[in-house]
Structure 1
Amino acid sequence: MVRVRLEDGMGKSGIGLIHQWSIDAHVLHDGSVAHIESAELRDCILPPALVDLALGFLAENDEHVNFVWTGHPTGALVRVAITKGKYAGFASAHLHATAGAELPFALTRRELDVVTLLIGGLASTAIAESLSVSTRTVTTHIDHVMRKFDAPNRSTVATRALDIGLVGLPFPLSAPGFETLRVGRLVRSAGTRGPRKRWNPLPAAGTQPIVIGALVPVAGRGLDDGVEMLNGARLAIEEINARGGIHGREIRMEVAGLDIDESASVRATVDELLRKKIDVITSGYLASQDLAIEAASVEGVPFMHSSASSVIGKLVASNPERYKGVFQFCPSDALYASNFVAFMTKLRDSRQWTPSSERLTVVQQSLWEIVDFGIDAATRLAAEQGWELTTVDALDRRDSTSAWASAAHEVRATRTAAVMLGSFFAPDHAQFIDSFLTEPTDTLLYSIYAPSVPAFRRLVDDRSEGIVWATTTGTYSDRLGHEFASRYTTRFGRPPGRSHAGISYDRVHILAQAWGQLTDIRDFDAVTARIADVRYRGVNGAYSFAPYEHSTLSYGSGSWDPSLSQAHATYQVQNGRNVMIAPAIYASGTFRRPPWIPAPPDGAP
């Protein structure tokens, strides 16, 4: 077995078998495994059976394959994606495996067995015999699966499942139908070893790769979002390299892990990247983003972040020459409170909702100095629209176990029509929602950003139904957004969240567009000039940057041109799905009354 030793952030490390892990590895033709990365700060094991399946993939020379491995000794289901790759100049099977993740369509393990046998073309009686159950039980399973897939027949289920890799290995039995499938060929050749084969290189062999230095959360409160950031960037890099890279040069990513709350390590982490001669630095959101920006600006290296911070925007505008290479790939957080007020006003005035009072409340985190939700502007707007806006401060410390629950008690004690949960972290929202829904009032809950992270749904589960939430940048519910989500799900075995996966994906493509226009991508001034002039339509909407502050324009405030600006996206959780309900030009649904708010009297909205 290949064992990976990883530290837990406290200086402790160890090796063991765990139920949940996510790992990338390159398997070479001779069975050796190299370049192992883990998206979790946990001990990971790549089982020999997966190495053998990767070798079968290489022997059959396929482009990609996806499946669910059911043979893990812990009993965990493992979503596996294998694509063509390379390592140190040798052809490899690039294997990405995620254990412990939920299956799409909420399939159970038994339903996965049934779907796999449907893919193999087996009739109900043969499935029943294979699984040692009655034909009636199999028929019931198939009915459940068809409803989950919203499919009219079993053939449609089999086709859709095969497309997204919902086929279980090892196969429940040997059947001729499996041999014609890509996964069947992989099983047939599993374990085949041969000499290492040289990779057919990208054009202009021998040129140096273009290296993205990525500041990625690998511990603490940003860990789940860090996986989103990493995967979104990886998907874009793989797509670009598959098309020949940039002028024949491959793009690579040098990941520097950190904790978003630990300011002391930020400068050292950036300095470490700079010593590796990276060509650009990308970053999500950090409590001390300004420290990272300062370090990069000293060297003149372009710095592309997504902190959504008006404070950072003002810093950049204060010294345009020093910070000319700094770009914020999302609109400002100062829009959050005003958009909250504007959205509640629209619901009230359109009679989609009857507020219980004239009071609106913002509960806000209070420790990050770079955060500014625009309370002053929102207070003025609220007064103009007939509201009273109040605020409640809640600490956002990682060791706080009651601050957001206390805020829920305070909100419940007032006649508040709607409350905005002003935190970027899912545990804060979960704490407030759990406390509030123990004795709910007719207050509308409006979260910001945190529901875009998959961890939110795991923490809140079905209690999220009816919650409205917004983000300054979110993945659209249009063709581009759906196609991106499908590719991401196929590649990583789980759907993306609705914000940072898309940002990271778009950001790499925007960088590639700029680099493609240049002969010297180390000419940082030229790169900066190309980014400043960018006009790009990505999965999170349109990107263009405001002068001086270099933040992405927001539709309706920075610009009314949807081809130049991103929507302040508003969603509502409806039937377990995030449905985009505003702005109208991008909406895929409309507002619904949340389940905890009583139905109004007849004739009232």
Structure 2
Amino acid sequence: MQLSLEPSELTRGTTVDRGATRIDDQTGQALSVAATVMRDGTVMAPTEAGEEAAFFERHPVLAEHARRLLWSGRTNVRYSYISEDDVWHLVSIHALPDGFGDQLGRVVVQRTKPPFRLTLRELDVLTLMTAGHANQHIADCLDIKLRTVTTHVERILVKMGRLSRTAAATVAVDFGLLRLPTPGGGRNLQPLTVGLLDDGEASTDSRSGETVHRRGPTSAPRPLVIGTPLSLKGLAASDAREMMMSARLAVQEINAAGGVLGRPLELREMSCDIGDAEDVGRAVKSLIDHEVDAIASGYSAAEIQIQEMMADYGAPYLHCATMEAMVDRVRQDPDRLSNIFQICPSDISYGPRFIQFLDQLSQSGQWNPHSNRVVVIQPRWSQMDVGLRRVEQMADRRGLKLEIIDDLPAQGIDWSQVMRRVHAADPCAVFLAYYFPEENIAFLRNYLADPGRALVYTLYGPSVPAYREELGAAAEGVIWATTTGRAPSEQAQNFANRFEKMHGKPPGHSHAGLAYDRVHLLARAWHETGDPRGFRSVCEAIRRLPYRGVNGMYFMDNAGQSVSAPDPSSVDPSLSHPHLIFQIQNGQQALLSPSPEGQNNFRTPPWIAGKRYRLPAQYRAGV
């Protein structure tokens, strides 16, 4: 395969020449700039070329590289430089004589697309590979797994069309595919010329022979970046906005206190549709390509894919998928998935806790069921398991007859057909085993158009304020459960107050607290280890250090690296995350179980009590 860098790989758009600066005539941005650097690092850009002066002022490290080249006695170098806005640049520096027997550095910087479609991580691996380092040393420098390096090397050779590491290294040197700053410091690239340019390394004055140690130009510390794939316009968008607002609150508070290790925190929010596995994968890949320091996510239809991508990357992945299947994957492959954490209890307790709650209501005399039939509705969601096998066993022992409806899609459900099956069963309770607010709302509207005498018990969706905002009084009496939420505590109330002060409205009762807590989990681990890019040590800190957050105690030192389910009767958030059951009463969330000192009592839903809620006309017409 012949190596060629097409013009489209080096520039973007149509260009016009303005002196030494090439300008994109569509964006007005410089595609290439040039300047001369004196031996002391002073930049001399043409007075008429404001683009050059501005560019080198924004990127002073380039002048420092030129100064180092002049001090080294070498005459030229080419390398790749990635700016803070993730733009790739090809940098060429040549030592040229001036009129006084000294040398000047001519620096030419050209904006480029990633050659051979390399990712940033692949460029790092190629850089160290070109210096002759073995895979294990590369893994140590980048703090990733040996297997991951091997995979990167294979992909690099395929993308570059080369059969050997030596051939790929030759191309890298010829075309400047060596990244500065170098992972692990300039010593990892010596004796290559580019290795002499890195910050903090010694260089020798070619005239005096004196070894000079110089620091690079000072700049603001690089922020610690948390990647967050969010479904801001897709499925569960209202929940994603809750998570985003909570994470922003945590970042603001931590930065106001000085950040972590003197570095500010930053969120990189990537919009995607969590119901579209391909779209989620694209978002996570983009975050990895941006070399975020961790990824914190809610839930998606692509959890297995994300786990595999994050295992290759190595950075901590904190998710709230609430799936025992995801926890079990970590148990089965603890070495490869050692950076994967589920920061809430799993879904398998939802079903059994539903049956136990019906027992409590019936035995306490608060509810008198009119039949022994129960309908369970579980739309298809990959890997979800609410413990139906155990539910069937528990129901059989209690003389309950179950009808399970599990042949429904995750979105766009025809609820009119479902209602026919529900009414035919005439159940005493309907268990809607589904998380997302959109279909939860659609179900209730259809049910209330012709209500039966069943309790409506669902999962999580009503925790999002948008559920009550959209349904209004129609939500009265709905019961819902969550494996993680804000149990009554001073810490939880203080969080809610600060959230409302920042955003002008109160937070939801579940993932709002989780999104806030996971930022603090990462910040604590980074502070504890002192090395945010030391992924393995950061993950070990997350695993072994207990943390008391808004939603309860986080302690994940177990085989599945997940918050464990607590005793169902415990409301103490210092032990784990209590399994909470709420009922919407007078438009508010009333905690029914576990309720401290019987604070709230169950209320018979209005459709059972004969107080039928009449839906607005626009909704009656649609059901």
Map of 1:314 onto structure 2: 328
1:374 maps to 2:387:
yes
- In 2, Cα distance between equivalents of 1:232 and 1:332: 22
1:278 to 287, 292, 299: 292
Read off the aligned partner of 1:570 and give its amino acid letter. I
Q: Deviations over 1:556-592 (max 9, x none)?
A: 2699975231111110001110111111349742211
Read off the aligned partner of 1:398 and give its amino acid letter. Q
Query: How many Å apart are 1:292 and its aligned residue?
Result: 1.1
Query: How many Å apart are 1:266 and its aligned residue?
Result: 2.8
Map of 2:133 onto structure 1: none
Q: Deviations over 1:68-99 (max 9, x none)?
A: xxxxxxxxxxxxxxxxxxx99xxxxxxxxxxx
Read off the aligned partner of 1:265 and give its amino acid letter. D
- In 2, Cα distance between equivalents of 1:578 and 1:561: 19
Worse-matched range after superposition: 537-546 or 276-285: 537-546
2:514 to 503, 508, 512: 503
1:347 maps to 2:358:
no
Map of 2:204 onto structure 1: none
Read off the aligned partner of 1:488 and give its amino acid letter. F
Maintained 8 Å contact 1:474/1:502: yes
Query: How many Å apart are 1:271 and its aligned residue?
Result: 2.0
1:338 to 327, 341, 352: 352
- In 1, Cα distance between equivalents of 2:588 and 2:270: 33
Maintained 8 Å contact 2:236/2:438: no
Q: Deviations over 1:34-90 (max 9, x none)?
A: xxxxxxxxxxxxxxxxxxxxxxxxxxxxxxxxxxxxxxxxxxxxxxxxxxxxx99xx
1:517 to 528, 533, 538: 528
2:278 to 258, 264, 274: 264
Query: How many Å apart are 1:364 and its aligned residue?
Result: 0.7
The residue correspondences of 1:61-72 to structure 2 (distance < 5 A) are: none
Maintained 8 Å contact 1:450/1:456: yes
The residue correspondences of 1:137-148 to structure 2 (distance < 5 A) are: none
- In 1, Cα distance between equivalents of 2:596 and 2:565: 14
Maintained 8 Å contact 1:302/1:326: yes
Maintained 8 Å contact 1:546/1:553: no
The residue correspondences of 1:153-168 to structure 2 (distance < 5 A) are: none
Query: How many Å apart are 1:347 and its aligned residue?
Result: 0.8
- In 1, Cα distance between equivalents of 2:560 and 2:465: 30
Q: Match of 2:375, SS?
A: strand
2:565 to 548, 554, 563: 554
Query: How many Å apart are 1:526 and its aligned residue?
Result: 0.9
Map of 1:391 onto structure 2: 404
- In 1, Cα distance between equivalents of 2:281 and 2:461: 27
The residue correspondences of 1:15-414 to structure 2 (distance < 5 A) are: 206-366=220-380, 368-393=381-406, 395-400=408-413, 402=414, 404-414=415-425
Maintained 8 Å contact 1:553/1:564: no
Q: 1:558 to 1:354 in 2, by over 3 A?
A: closer
Q: 1:586 to 1:285 in 2, by over 3 A?
A: farther
- In 1, Cα distance between equivalents of 2:407 and 2:552: 32
Read off the aligned partner of 1:426 and give its amino acid letter. P
Read off the aligned partner of 2:234 and give its amino acid letter. G
Maintained 8 Å contact 1:363/1:392: yes
Q: 1:558 to 1:291 in 2, by over 3 A?
A: farther
- In 2, Cα distance between equivalents of 1:307 and 1:397: 15
- In 2, Cα distance between equivalents of 1:549 and 1:476: 24
User: Structure 2 unaligned runs (5+)?
Assistant: 1-83, 86-217, 612-623
Q: Match of 2:453, SS?
A: coil
Maintained 8 Å contact 2:236/2:437: no
User: Structure 1 unaligned runs (5+)?
Assistant: 1-86, 89-203, 601-605
Map of 2:503 onto structure 1: 492
Map of 2:492 onto structure 1: 481
Query: How many Å apart are 1:408 and its aligned residue?
Result: 2.6
Q: Deviations over 1:304-356 (max 9, x none)?
A: 11110111111111100010110011111111111111111111112111111
Map of 2:588 onto structure 1: 577
2:442 to 414, 428, 431: 431
Maintained 8 Å contact 1:559/1:565: no
Identity score, percent:
36
Maintained 8 Å contact 1:477/1:586: no
Read off the aligned partner of 1:390 and give its amino acid letter. E
- In 1, Cα distance between equivalents of 2:502 and 2:599: 26
Q: Deviations over 1:169-227 (max 9, x none)?
A: xxxxxxxxxxxxxxxxxxxxxxxxxxxxxxxxxxx973321111111112211211110
- In 2, Cα distance between equivalents of 1:448 and 1:409: 22
Read off the aligned partner of 2:331 and give its amino acid letter. A
Q: Match of 1:268, SS?
A: helix
Query: How many Å apart are 1:287 and its aligned residue?
Result: 0.6
- In 2, Cα distance between equivalents of 1:586 and 1:291: 44
Query: How many Å apart are 1:554 and its aligned residue?
Result: 1.7
TM-score in terms of structure 2 length:
0.61
Q: Match of 1:365, SS?
A: coil
Maintained 8 Å contact 2:484/2:577: yes
Map of 1:467 onto structure 2: 478
Q: 1:370 to 1:541 in 2, by over 3 A?
A: same
- In 1, Cα distance between equivalents of 2:351 and 2:284: 32
- In 2, Cα distance between equivalents of 1:257 and 1:439: 38
- In 2, Cα distance between equivalents of 1:558 and 1:597: 28
Map of 1:445 onto structure 2: 456
Q: 1:394 to 1:497 in 2, by over 3 A?
A: farther
- In 1, Cα distance between equivalents of 2:386 and 2:597: 24
Q: Match of 2:334, SS?
A: coil
Q: 1:455 to 1:394 in 2, by over 3 A?
A: farther
Maintained 8 Å contact 2:486/2:513: yes
Query: How many Å apart are 1:273 and its aligned residue?
Result: 1.2
- In 2, Cα distance between equivalents of 1:590 and 1:227: 31
Q: 1:232 to 1:463 in 2, by over 3 A?
A: same
Q: Deviations over 1:85-121 (max 9, x none)?
A: xx99xxxxxxxxxxxxxxxxxxxxxxxxxxxxxxxxx
Q: 1:405 to 1:490 in 2, by over 3 A?
A: farther
Q: 1:587 to 1:213 in 2, by over 3 A?
A: farther
Higher Cα Rg: structure 1 or 2?
2
Query: How many Å apart are 1:424 and its aligned residue?
Result: 1.3
Higher relative contact order (CA 8 A, sep 6+): 1
Maintained 8 Å contact 2:570/2:578: no
C-alpha RMSD over aligned residues = 2.4
Maintained 8 Å contact 2:544/2:557: no
- In 2, Cα distance between equivalents of 1:454 and 1:508: 22
Q: 1:253 to 1:326 in 2, by over 3 A?
A: same
- In 2, Cα distance between equivalents of 1:497 and 1:286: 19
